[in-house]
Structure 1
């Protein structure tokens, strides 16, 4: 009897999802039909006005209404092509991915309005087409970023081989498009001078840095999955250095983005004036890079010789409170090393013990006790005592 309400709830949710998808498809089909009829009516009107093809084409290119109708049809065709590509490479999008995609597109469009004021002299149909192509490619970069982050959250054994094939092909397609379009923008700037094309050159350079970040993160997660497959699968010990490799990846990406933004900022400042559209991006990227470098220096200083510098906690020090406040797991004092009877047979077991994380309780100079690995993971995010938030530099020098 209890299973019947759950079954009804699942049926209702499935029905609502199907109806929502059908309504979305119907809206797209209706929009496409209206766009096609509007474009055909514009072409028919031009053909009635002028009997030959050349005169009708000139009329269509000079009539504002005809250009708008044809541009609307082109937008619909681009939307359909993007939906097909999304279905091939990503399949159905999760609600969080759709929400984040809409937010990013809206923010990018509003931010681009400031850039259009700087390059208003270059605002023409080719500029609009180039901007549409840029937005199209950025959307797939954003979706790919969400999928790589999702891949890191999938438990062992991770996504199937089809996911890796699609991601690999998408890496190649997006990387090739970014490099080709960046080369085109650089060639245009060198030939025609600093104009609206430099905006696209900056954006494609940022996309290349972002794609490099995604490739590195994907490689790290893939290596972690393969490493776990060689060490027991779901029961494999966690990879202790994974978070640091991701940290270095983010640091490299921030450095590349900062160089790109500074070059673009100085170039526009000397030719067109203050570029208001990227002041926020320059500030945020610079602050992120400086913060990461400072955290890395503090982390290296705090974790230098941690095992030898911080003494192991004894049973007397642990007392009745044995819970590590970082992982909420119970702490146990390290057992005294015993002399093995058969060293040759005990060597493999010792090697396996070293393969996992070091969960030995460590006593800090402030008196608080934490697992060694928990403390190390905490210091990767912030360099302070987890209990009373005093910087490690105060008592770790």
Structure 2
């Protein structure tokens, strides 16, 4: 799929370059070499403008790919798939938005949308690359420098275009620029959440011990991100309804964001209920209970060792079993037994309950 896309882009570039050269040469000959006459001829010809716009689009794509290679290097397959999938949805949203702002649709709108699409693509790549930090085999200084430069640039672009959009709305009233104010607000929320995740990943990479609360911090980042997105969607929805009509292009996104936020709130409440008094609610598994299993925690795939009982006489283990280990009251490696009978490390069980409130074997 990647090679096919490159071939199509190459063919598109060759065709656009050839046609643009012919259009310029034709205009230059007809106007007898006059510069201003050639420019007037090009602006008055719809076909010539279409060809030149296609050439500008190709130049923008090449510039974007060059910048992408500079900031991110070679893209992974999953990142390319995400770009194609999300770009398709963005284009469909704009087509639906055109039904509302059809009276204001012009070349300026097309130019702003193309630039917005490029900015979105860099946001998506940056988010995927930060999420990959957990599995990345080598996170070197160059990686950190690229990510920080990308995030800084994206924040500056989002703030600049958001300020421009708000200033335009205040001076000239509501128009199609409302769409771009909303889009850059959503992108700003996204890049701030990416920055927060990057900071958390960096802290975890520099920490020698296992960070048990990392996933919970990520959960709160996603929760606040969904909250600010939901507020932005509601405000935009109200503004567009007041001045134009129902914005069909964000109904799906508004519903998905609302459902995600409500689900995260439910997960948060259920998590606090499930993890309240875990030490007392879930007893430590005994040596006999572990001996009846394969001793492997299915979450981390590591062996579990029973805690040393308080009674010294009970510390005698069966022959061939691993020796019991003195365990602190809140030892993260203490084997905990659920009411269903399954046994897991305390740390693994807590981490699992942050994502789901059911036994991992179900």
TM-score past 0.5 threshold: yes
Q: Distance in 1 between matches of 2:167 and 2:309?
A: 69
Q: What corresponds to 1:331 in structure 2?
A: 304
Say whether 1:224 aligns with 2:224.
no
Distance in 1 between residues matched to 2:309 and 2:97, nearest whole Å: 67
For structure 1, the 5+ residue unaligned runs are 1-19, 229-236, 340-352, 389-397
2:211 counterpart (239, 243, 252)? 239
> Which residue, out of 118, 128, 136, partners 1:136?
118
Q: What is the aligned counterpart of 2:88 among 88, 93, 106?
A: 106
Contact 1:32 1:76 in 2 (8 A): yes
Q: TM (normalized to structure 1)?
A: 0.80
In the alignment, structure 1 residue 380 sits paired with structure 2 residue 362: no
**Alignment partner for residue 170 of structure 2, among 158, 177, 190?**
190
Q: Does 1:292 align with 2:264?
A: yes
Q: Which residue of 1 aligns with 2:254?
A: 282
TM-score with structure 2 setting the length: 0.88
Structure 2 residue matching 1:118: 3-state secondary structure: coil
Q: Which runs of 5+ in 2 are unaligned?
A: 313-326
SS of equivalent to 1:370: strand
CA contact (8 A) 1:151 1:159 kept: yes
Q: Does the C-alpha gap of structure 1 residues 153 and 387 become closer, same or farther in structure 2, counting only changes over 3 Å? A: closer
1:34 Cα offset (Å)? 2.9
Matched, 1:35 2:16: yes
> Across the two proteins, how many residue pairs are aligned to each other?
345
Report the alpha carbon displacement of residue 302 of structure 1 after superposing the two structures with TM: 1.3
- Map Cα deviations across residues 249-276 of structure 1 (whole Å, 9 max, x no partner): 1111111111111111111111111111
Instruction: Find 1:364's aligned residue among 301, 326, 338.
Output: 338
**2:251 is the alignment partner of 1:273:** no
Distance 1:201 1:263 in 2: 11
1:227-284 deviation digits (Å, cap 9, x = unpaired): 13xxxxxxxx421011111111111111111111111111111111111100010010
In 1, Cα distance between equivalents of 2:232 and 2:44: 39
Conserved in 2, the CA contact under 8 Å of 1:238 and 1:357? no
1:1-397 equivalence runs, <5 A: 28-51=9-32, 52-155=34-137, 158-228=138-208, 237-321=209-293, 322-336=295-309, 358-387=332-361
Structure 1 runs of 4+ with >6 Å offset:
23-26
